[in-house]
Amino acid sequence: MDANPVLAETTRGNWIENRHRGAFAVVDANGTVIASAGDIDFPIFPRSAIKSMQALAIFGSDAIGEFHHSPQELALACASHHGEEPHVEGVAHLLERLGLSVDDLECGAHPPTNPAARDALRQAGLKPTALHNNCSGKHGGMLSVGLAMGVATKGYVEREHAVQRAVREAIEMVIGEPLSEERCGTDGCSIPTFAAPLRAFARGFAVMATGRGLPPDMAAGARQLFDAATQYPLLVAGTGHADTRIMSAFGGRVMQKIGAEGVQCGAIRDKGWGYALKCDDGNMAASQSMLAGLLLNYSDPEADELAVLQSIANRPINSVRGAQVGWLRPAGPLA
């Protein structure tokens, strides 16, 4: 396999220090490739970038009809949140409505990602719980799926549990490809993750953005999830995060979601295009620079949107004393 192109680079002084290779695809709902670079047919683990696809099981199981999830709860179902107060309180409130508790979450506990929230928890002498896990909103949504299906929720993270089968079917529906047991692993929050071609995930986001080819209830569900995420971008990530900043700036035009190991997925909704991007070495900062480069090239940003994208695309590298010594910036076809 030929090496993927360099899509981002870091400089130090007047010299390039690091080159980050990757691939990206911009695709419409028919599967037509609008733009691409690198091997877009190579299967990748999408990780948290497809939480909105996973959350479609809320609609497939009619958990939405039984529990009437608020837009904020739907945004949290799509989130990799930072454990700030609105995140923790939102998931706790959902669990209470479901008649469940934090003990029913099977995502594990870790400290809040947000430094201020982490310090506040420490100063209060409290330990993090599963509510602080950045995937707790997704897991809360999955618990609602299990309850709506009438199945025992214990073990809902296991691959053969009815909840995970429903999640898998929802993903397959939108990406238009089967998810193979031969390319399956376990995500950081303990649920299954399946590898599929980058092209397929990009198409899946276009399908969700347009509803094309989906049953009416699932098309409406996809629209509700994207509306919720873009209406409450702070809940999807957190203070200062690129996802929150981008969706706040674009005011509903762009749905954007990060995934671990350098994955970025989303939709340019007014164009009906989905996109998927993977930084080969998993560098998250480089993947965000690539993402901003992609959106600068293909989303037709207006002035406020342009300013946010440029600040994410071109990041100064500073010394410990605060002097700027280099740049991280898009390169190659995303420059």
Q: pLDDT in tens for each of the 335 residues of the chain? A: 689 999 999 999 999 999 999 999 999 999 999 999 999 999 999 999 999 999 999 999 999 999 999 999 999 999 999 999 999 999 999 999 999 999 999 999 999 999 999 999 999 999 999 999 999 999 999 999 999 999 999 999 999 999 999 999 999 999 999 999 999 999 999 999 999 999 999 999 999 999 999 999 999 999 999 999 999 999 999 999 999 999 999 999 999 999 999 999 999 999 999 999 999 999 999 999 999 999 999 999 999 999 999 999 999 999 999 999 999 999 999 99
Q: Which residues of 55-76 are buried (b: 16+ CB within 10 A; e: fewer)?
A: bbbbbbbebbeebebeebbbbb
Instruction: Calculate the alpha carbon distances from 270 to 61, 209, 252, 255 in Å.
Output: 28, 8, 9, 10
The helix/strand/coil state of 232 is: coil
Distance CA 134, CA 75 (A): 13
Residue 201: which H helix or E strand, with range? helix 198-210
Is the model's pTM score more than 0.95?
yes
The CATH-assigned architecture of domain 6-181+193-334 is 3-Layer(aba) Sandwich (3.40)
**Could you tell me what percentage of the chain is helix, strand and coil, using 3-state DSSP and rounding each to the nearest 5?**
45, 20, 35
Start-to-end C-alpha separation, the chain: 24
